[in-house]
Structure 1
Amino acid sequence: MSDHPKLTQQIVADFAEGYSNFGLNPLMGRIVGLLIISEDPQSLDDFVEKLEMSKGPISQICRRLKERGLIEKVWIPGDRKDYYQAADDIFGKAYANQINKMQKNIEIAEKYLMQAQSMDSSSAAFIKKQMKIMKSFYELMDEYNEKFMDAWEEKHKEITE
Protein backbone atom coordinates (compact mmCIF):
# COMPACT_ATOMS: atom_id res chain seq x y z
CA MET A 1 0.00 0.00 0.00
CA SER A 2 2.63 2.48 1.07
CA ASP A 3 5.57 2.74 3.38
CA HIS A 4 3.02 3.16 6.16
CA PRO A 5 0.33 0.48 5.73
CA LYS A 6 -1.35 1.14 9.08
CA LEU A 7 -1.65 4.87 8.36
CA THR A 8 -2.98 4.09 4.88
CA GLN A 9 -5.61 1.73 6.31
CA GLN A 10 -6.70 4.35 8.83
CA ILE A 11 -7.00 7.05 6.17
CA VAL A 12 -8.98 4.75 3.86
CA ALA A 13 -11.29 3.72 6.73
CA ASP A 14 -11.86 7.31 7.84
CA PHE A 15 -12.64 8.44 4.28
CA ALA A 16 -15.13 5.57 3.99
CA GLU A 17 -16.82 6.75 7.17
CA GLY A 18 -16.79 10.37 6.03
CA TYR A 19 -18.45 9.54 2.73
CA SER A 20 -20.97 7.36 4.54
CA ASN A 21 -21.80 10.30 6.84
CA PHE A 22 -22.75 12.27 3.72
CA GLY A 23 -25.06 9.47 2.61
CA LEU A 24 -22.64 8.25 -0.03
CA ASN A 25 -21.28 4.79 -0.66
CA PRO A 26 -18.37 4.10 1.72
CA LEU A 27 -16.47 2.50 -1.17
CA MET A 28 -16.32 5.96 -2.77
CA GLY A 29 -14.53 7.17 0.32
CA ARG A 30 -12.15 4.22 0.32
CA ILE A 31 -11.18 4.83 -3.29
CA VAL A 32 -10.79 8.60 -2.81
CA GLY A 33 -8.83 8.08 0.40
CA LEU A 34 -6.47 5.68 -1.32
CA LEU A 35 -6.00 7.89 -4.38
CA ILE A 36 -5.24 11.11 -2.54
CA ILE A 37 -2.36 9.44 -0.71
CA SER A 38 -1.06 7.46 -3.71
CA GLU A 39 1.79 9.05 -5.59
CA ASP A 40 1.17 6.79 -8.60
CA PRO A 41 -2.06 6.14 -10.48
CA GLN A 42 -3.92 3.02 -9.39
CA SER A 43 -5.50 0.33 -11.58
CA LEU A 44 -8.70 -1.55 -10.81
CA ASP A 45 -6.49 -4.52 -9.92
CA ASP A 46 -4.58 -2.31 -7.46
CA PHE A 47 -7.88 -1.33 -5.82
CA VAL A 48 -9.00 -4.98 -5.64
CA GLU A 49 -5.76 -5.94 -3.92
CA LYS A 50 -5.46 -2.97 -1.58
CA LEU A 51 -9.13 -2.65 -0.63
CA GLU A 52 -9.76 -6.41 -0.63
CA MET A 53 -12.96 -6.07 -2.64
CA SER A 54 -14.20 -7.43 -5.96
CA LYS A 55 -13.62 -5.60 -9.22
CA GLY A 56 -17.30 -5.06 -10.19
CA PRO A 57 -18.27 -2.61 -7.43
CA ILE A 58 -14.90 -0.88 -7.65
CA SER A 59 -15.31 -0.33 -11.39
CA GLN A 60 -18.84 1.02 -10.90
CA ILE A 61 -17.77 3.44 -8.15
CA CYS A 62 -14.77 4.60 -10.21
CA ARG A 63 -17.17 5.48 -13.04
CA ARG A 64 -19.36 7.47 -10.63
CA LEU A 65 -16.36 9.30 -9.15
CA LYS A 66 -15.11 10.07 -12.66
CA GLU A 67 -18.56 11.44 -13.65
CA ARG A 68 -18.41 13.74 -10.61
CA GLY A 69 -14.97 14.96 -11.64
CA LEU A 70 -13.27 13.66 -8.49
CA ILE A 71 -10.97 11.16 -10.18
CA GLU A 72 -9.43 10.97 -13.62
CA LYS A 73 -8.58 8.07 -15.85
CA VAL A 74 -4.94 8.20 -16.92
CA TRP A 75 -3.04 6.34 -19.59
CA ILE A 76 0.20 4.56 -18.86
CA PRO A 77 2.21 3.84 -22.02
CA GLY A 78 2.50 0.15 -22.79
CA ASP A 79 -0.25 -0.87 -20.36
CA ARG A 80 -3.81 -1.64 -21.43
CA LYS A 81 -5.31 -1.36 -17.94
CA ASP A 82 -7.35 1.61 -16.81
CA TYR A 83 -5.53 3.68 -14.21
CA TYR A 84 -6.98 6.38 -11.99
CA GLN A 85 -5.67 9.30 -9.99
CA ALA A 86 -7.31 11.93 -7.82
CA ALA A 87 -8.39 14.99 -9.78
CA ASP A 88 -6.52 18.21 -9.20
CA ASP A 89 -8.39 20.08 -6.46
CA ILE A 90 -10.51 17.07 -5.60
CA PHE A 91 -11.73 18.83 -2.44
CA GLY A 92 -12.92 21.91 -4.32
CA LYS A 93 -14.66 19.71 -6.88
CA ALA A 94 -16.36 17.66 -4.16
CA TYR A 95 -17.60 20.86 -2.52
CA ALA A 96 -18.81 22.20 -5.88
CA ASN A 97 -20.82 18.98 -6.32
CA GLN A 98 -22.47 19.62 -2.94
CA ILE A 99 -23.20 23.23 -3.92
CA ASN A 100 -24.93 22.05 -7.09
CA LYS A 101 -27.14 19.76 -5.03
CA MET A 102 -28.05 22.62 -2.68
CA GLN A 103 -28.86 24.92 -5.60
CA LYS A 104 -31.59 22.48 -6.63
CA ASN A 105 -33.37 23.44 -3.41
CA ILE A 106 -33.76 26.98 -4.79
CA GLU A 107 -35.46 25.50 -7.85
CA ILE A 108 -37.76 23.42 -5.64
CA ALA A 109 -38.74 26.46 -3.58
CA GLU A 110 -39.37 28.52 -6.73
CA LYS A 111 -41.49 25.76 -8.25
CA TYR A 112 -43.84 25.49 -5.28
CA LEU A 113 -43.83 29.21 -4.63
CA MET A 114 -45.14 29.74 -8.16
CA GLN A 115 -47.77 27.04 -7.74
CA ALA A 116 -48.92 28.47 -4.42
CA GLN A 117 -49.09 32.02 -5.88
CA SER A 118 -52.16 31.08 -7.91
CA MET A 119 -53.97 29.63 -4.89
CA ASP A 120 -56.00 31.64 -2.45
CA SER A 121 -56.29 30.08 0.98
CA SER A 122 -54.63 30.26 4.36
CA SER A 123 -52.80 26.99 3.71
CA ALA A 124 -51.51 28.39 0.38
CA ALA A 125 -50.34 31.53 2.19
CA PHE A 126 -48.47 29.34 4.68
CA ILE A 127 -46.89 27.34 1.83
CA LYS A 128 -45.82 30.60 0.12
CA LYS A 129 -44.25 31.82 3.36
CA GLN A 130 -42.35 28.56 3.88
CA MET A 131 -41.14 28.48 0.26
CA LYS A 132 -39.98 32.12 0.51
CA ILE A 133 -38.03 31.23 3.65
CA MET A 134 -36.53 28.16 1.97
CA LYS A 135 -35.61 30.12 -1.16
CA SER A 136 -34.02 32.94 0.85
CA PHE A 137 -32.05 30.48 2.97
CA TYR A 138 -30.56 28.66 -0.02
CA GLU A 139 -29.92 31.87 -1.98
CA LEU A 140 -27.95 33.27 0.96
CA MET A 141 -26.09 29.98 1.31
CA ASP A 142 -25.33 30.13 -2.41
CA GLU A 143 -23.83 33.63 -2.03
CA TYR A 144 -21.56 32.45 0.79
CA ASN A 145 -20.60 29.32 -1.13
CA GLU A 146 -19.63 31.45 -4.13
CA LYS A 147 -17.42 33.65 -1.93
CA PHE A 148 -15.93 30.58 -0.27
CA MET A 149 -15.12 28.95 -3.62
CA ASP A 150 -13.43 32.15 -4.85
CA ALA A 151 -11.35 32.28 -1.66
CA TRP A 152 -10.58 28.56 -1.93
CA GLU A 153 -9.38 28.91 -5.53
CA GLU A 154 -6.92 31.60 -4.43
CA LYS A 155 -5.78 29.54 -1.45
CA HIS A 156 -5.46 26.39 -3.56
CA LYS A 157 -3.27 28.25 -6.08
CA GLU A 158 -1.15 29.62 -3.26
CA ILE A 159 -0.51 26.24 -1.61
CA THR A 160 0.01 24.25 -4.82
CA GLU A 161 2.45 26.57 -6.59
Structure 2
Amino acid sequence: MKDLPPTAQKFILHWGEMGVRWGINRTMAQIHALLFLSEKPRHAEEICEILELARSNVSVALRELQGWGIVKMVHLPGDRRDHFESMKDVFEMFRVIVNERRRREVDPTVRLLDDCLQESGGKAKAGEAHVRERLQEMRDFFEVATTFSSQLDRLPTGSLVKIARMGEKTLKLLGLGG
Protein backbone atom coordinates (compact mmCIF):
# COMPACT_ATOMS: atom_id res chain seq x y z
CA MET A 1 0.00 0.00 0.00
CA LYS A 2 2.55 2.42 -1.14
CA ASP A 3 2.23 6.15 -0.75
CA LEU A 4 -0.39 5.88 2.02
CA PRO A 5 0.11 7.07 5.57
CA PRO A 6 0.45 4.24 8.12
CA THR A 7 -2.92 5.07 9.70
CA ALA A 8 -4.63 4.79 6.30
CA GLN A 9 -2.92 1.45 5.68
CA LYS A 10 -3.99 0.20 9.09
CA PHE A 11 -7.62 1.23 8.49
CA ILE A 12 -7.74 -0.26 4.96
CA LEU A 13 -6.39 -3.60 6.21
CA HIS A 14 -8.85 -3.62 9.12
CA TRP A 15 -11.81 -2.68 6.89
CA GLY A 16 -10.88 -5.57 4.60
CA GLU A 17 -10.89 -7.96 7.56
CA MET A 18 -14.21 -6.58 8.79
CA GLY A 19 -15.64 -6.97 5.31
CA VAL A 20 -14.82 -10.67 5.39
CA ARG A 21 -16.58 -10.99 8.76
CA TRP A 22 -19.63 -9.21 7.32
CA GLY A 23 -19.68 -11.52 4.28
CA ILE A 24 -18.12 -8.95 1.93
CA ASN A 25 -15.14 -9.66 -0.30
CA ARG A 26 -11.88 -8.42 1.27
CA THR A 27 -10.79 -6.65 -1.92
CA MET A 28 -14.12 -4.87 -2.21
CA ALA A 29 -13.91 -3.69 1.41
CA GLN A 30 -10.32 -2.48 1.00
CA ILE A 31 -11.18 -0.54 -2.14
CA HIS A 32 -14.12 1.03 -0.34
CA ALA A 33 -11.85 2.01 2.57
CA LEU A 34 -9.31 3.57 0.20
CA LEU A 35 -11.98 5.58 -1.60
CA PHE A 36 -13.58 6.62 1.69
CA LEU A 37 -10.28 7.98 2.95
CA SER A 38 -9.29 9.60 -0.35
CA GLU A 39 -9.45 13.36 -0.71
CA LYS A 40 -10.12 13.05 -4.44
CA PRO A 41 -11.73 10.51 -6.78
CA ARG A 42 -9.36 7.78 -7.97
CA HIS A 43 -9.20 5.86 -11.25
CA ALA A 44 -8.99 2.07 -11.37
CA GLU A 45 -5.31 1.93 -12.35
CA GLU A 46 -4.44 4.11 -9.36
CA ILE A 47 -6.42 1.82 -7.07
CA CYS A 48 -4.61 -1.20 -8.52
CA GLU A 49 -1.24 0.40 -7.93
CA ILE A 50 -1.92 1.62 -4.38
CA LEU A 51 -3.51 -1.59 -3.13
CA GLU A 52 -1.36 -3.87 -5.32
CA LEU A 53 -4.39 -5.61 -6.80
CA ALA A 54 -5.13 -7.10 -10.20
CA ARG A 55 -7.11 -4.89 -12.57
CA SER A 56 -9.83 -7.53 -13.01
CA ASN A 57 -10.38 -7.76 -9.23
CA VAL A 58 -10.60 -3.99 -8.97
CA SER A 59 -13.10 -3.77 -11.84
CA VAL A 60 -15.37 -6.42 -10.32
CA ALA A 61 -15.19 -4.82 -6.87
CA LEU A 62 -15.92 -1.33 -8.23
CA ARG A 63 -19.01 -2.61 -10.05
CA GLU A 64 -20.21 -4.30 -6.87
CA LEU A 65 -19.58 -1.18 -4.77
CA GLN A 66 -21.56 0.84 -7.29
CA GLY A 67 -24.32 -1.76 -7.09
CA TRP A 68 -24.42 -1.25 -3.34
CA GLY A 69 -24.77 2.49 -3.96
CA ILE A 70 -21.83 3.52 -1.76
CA VAL A 71 -19.36 4.27 -4.55
CA LYS A 72 -20.10 6.27 -7.68
CA MET A 73 -18.29 6.90 -10.92
CA VAL A 74 -17.29 10.49 -11.64
CA HIS A 75 -15.57 12.18 -14.55
CA LEU A 76 -12.87 14.77 -14.12
CA PRO A 77 -12.37 17.56 -16.66
CA GLY A 78 -9.55 16.77 -19.07
CA ASP A 79 -9.30 13.09 -18.07
CA ARG A 80 -11.12 10.45 -20.10
CA ARG A 81 -10.73 7.74 -17.45
CA ASP A 82 -13.51 6.81 -15.08
CA HIS A 83 -12.81 7.90 -11.52
CA PHE A 84 -14.53 6.62 -8.40
CA GLU A 85 -15.45 8.12 -5.06
CA SER A 86 -17.11 6.82 -1.93
CA MET A 87 -19.98 8.42 -0.11
CA LYS A 88 -18.49 10.71 2.50
CA ASP A 89 -21.45 11.09 4.88
CA VAL A 90 -20.94 8.15 7.26
CA PHE A 91 -24.53 8.17 8.51
CA GLU A 92 -25.97 8.18 5.01
CA MET A 93 -23.51 5.49 3.91
CA PHE A 94 -24.58 3.16 6.72
CA ARG A 95 -28.21 3.92 5.96
CA VAL A 96 -27.63 2.85 2.34
CA ILE A 97 -25.80 -0.30 3.48
CA VAL A 98 -28.58 -1.26 5.91
CA ASN A 99 -31.20 -0.79 3.20
CA GLU A 100 -29.18 -2.80 0.69
CA ARG A 101 -28.62 -5.61 3.16
CA ARG A 102 -32.34 -5.62 3.92
CA ARG A 103 -33.09 -5.83 0.19
CA ARG A 104 -30.56 -8.63 -0.38
CA GLU A 105 -30.94 -10.64 2.84
CA VAL A 106 -34.07 -9.84 4.82
CA ASP A 107 -36.60 -9.39 2.00
CA PRO A 108 -35.89 -12.83 0.43
CA THR A 109 -36.14 -14.42 3.89
CA VAL A 110 -39.48 -12.74 4.54
CA ARG A 111 -40.76 -13.95 1.14
CA LEU A 112 -39.63 -17.50 1.97
CA LEU A 113 -41.31 -17.34 5.38
CA ASP A 114 -44.53 -16.10 3.75
CA ASP A 115 -44.37 -18.94 1.21
CA CYS A 116 -43.76 -21.54 3.93
CA LEU A 117 -46.60 -20.20 6.06
CA GLN A 118 -48.96 -20.09 3.10
CA GLU A 119 -48.04 -23.64 2.05
CA SER A 120 -48.69 -24.98 5.53
CA GLY A 121 -52.03 -23.14 5.65
CA GLY A 122 -54.03 -23.09 8.83
CA LYS A 123 -54.37 -26.84 8.98
CA ALA A 124 -50.88 -27.99 9.86
CA LYS A 125 -50.39 -31.69 10.56
CA ALA A 126 -49.30 -32.76 14.02
CA GLY A 127 -45.55 -32.57 13.31
CA GLU A 128 -45.88 -29.32 11.37
CA ALA A 129 -47.74 -27.29 13.97
CA HIS A 130 -44.56 -26.57 15.91
CA VAL A 131 -42.67 -25.67 12.73
CA ARG A 132 -45.45 -23.32 11.62
CA GLU A 133 -45.49 -21.67 15.05
CA ARG A 134 -41.71 -21.09 14.96
CA LEU A 135 -41.88 -19.73 11.39
CA GLN A 136 -44.69 -17.37 12.39
CA GLU A 137 -42.61 -16.08 15.32
CA MET A 138 -39.72 -15.47 12.95
CA ARG A 139 -42.04 -13.69 10.47
CA ASP A 140 -43.46 -11.53 13.26
CA PHE A 141 -39.93 -10.56 14.34
CA PHE A 142 -39.00 -9.51 10.80
CA GLU A 143 -42.23 -7.48 10.53
CA VAL A 144 -41.43 -5.52 13.70
CA ALA A 145 -37.75 -5.10 12.79
CA THR A 146 -38.36 -3.93 9.22
CA THR A 147 -41.15 -1.57 10.28
CA PHE A 148 -38.88 -0.03 12.93
CA SER A 149 -35.99 0.18 10.48
CA SER A 150 -38.21 1.88 7.90
CA GLN A 151 -39.38 4.39 10.48
CA LEU A 152 -35.78 5.20 11.43
CA ASP A 153 -34.84 5.46 7.76
CA ARG A 154 -37.41 8.21 7.23
CA LEU A 155 -35.88 10.38 9.96
CA PRO A 156 -33.45 13.08 8.87
CA THR A 157 -29.88 12.16 9.77
CA GLY A 158 -29.62 15.01 12.29
CA SER A 159 -32.68 13.78 14.19
CA LEU A 160 -31.42 10.21 14.20
CA VAL A 161 -28.04 11.29 15.56
CA LYS A 162 -29.73 13.42 18.23
CA ILE A 163 -31.88 10.47 19.36
CA ALA A 164 -28.89 8.10 19.40
CA ARG A 165 -26.79 10.54 21.42
CA MET A 166 -29.58 10.91 23.95
CA GLY A 167 -29.31 7.17 24.63
CA GLU A 168 -30.37 6.49 28.19
CA LYS A 169 -32.39 9.74 28.35
CA THR A 170 -34.52 8.56 25.40
CA LEU A 171 -35.27 5.27 27.15
CA LYS A 172 -36.21 7.04 30.37
CA LEU A 173 -38.42 9.49 28.45
CA LEU A 174 -40.26 6.50 26.96
CA GLY A 175 -40.55 4.92 30.38
CA LEU A 176 -38.17 2.10 29.41
CA GLY A 177 -35.01 3.10 31.27
CA GLY A 178 -33.92 2.01 34.73
Does structure 1 residue 105 correspond to structure 2 residue 131? no
Stretch deviating more after TM superposition (141-150 or 7-16): 141-150
Q: SS of the residue aligned with 1:8?
A: helix
**Which shifted more, 26-35 or 123-132?**
123-132
Counterpart residue type for residue 28 of structure 2:
M
Determine whether 1:72 maps to 2:41: no
**Distance in 2 separating the partners of 1:17 and 1:139:** 31
Partner of 1:146 in structure 2? 150
Structure 2 equivalent of residue 129 of structure 1: 133
Q: 1:103 is matched by which residue type in structure 2?
A: D
Displacement after TM superposition at 1:127 (Å):
2.2
Alignment of 1:33-72 (within 5 A): 33-72=33-72
Q: Is the 8 A contact 1:42 1:83 kept in 2?
A: yes
Mean CA deviation greater in 140-149 or 59-68: 140-149
Do the aligned partners of residues 30 and 155 (structure 1) sit closer, same or farther apart at CA in structure 2, a change above 3 Å counting? farther
Is the CA contact (8 Å cut-off) linking 2:16 and 2:30 kept in structure 1?
yes
Distance, in Å, in 2 between the alignment partners of 1:75 and 1:155 is 33
Matches within 5 A, 1:87-106: 87=87, 89-100=92-103, 101-106=105-110
Corresponding residue for 1:7?
Answer: 7
Q: 1:122 to 1:152 in 2, by over 3 A?
A: farther
Whole-angstrom distance in 1 between the partners of 2:160 and 2:138 = 32
Identical aligned residues as a percent: 21
For 1:152 and 1:105, the matched residues in 2 are separated by 28
Query: How many residues matched?
Result: 158
1:68 CA displacement: 1.4
In 2, distance between residues paired with 1:82 and 1:36?
17
SS across alignment from 1:19: helix
Deviation for aligned residue 1:155: 4.6
Helix, strand or coil for the counterpart of 1:73? strand
In the TM superposition, residue 38 of structure 1 has moved relative to its aligned partner by 0.6
Aligned 8 A contact 1:44 1:59 in 2: yes
Residues 61-103 of structure 1, C-alpha deviations (whole Å, 9 max, x = no match) = 1001111111000011221211000135322211211222213
Return the TM-score normalized by structure 2: 0.79
Conserved in 2, the CA contact under 8 Å of 1:113 and 1:127?
no
Measured on the aligned residues, the alpha-carbon RMSD in Å equals: 2.4
SS of corresponding position for 1:85: strand
Question: What is the distance in 1 between the residues matched to 2:149 and 2:127?
Answer: 33
CA distance in 2, matches of 1:120, 1:92: 39
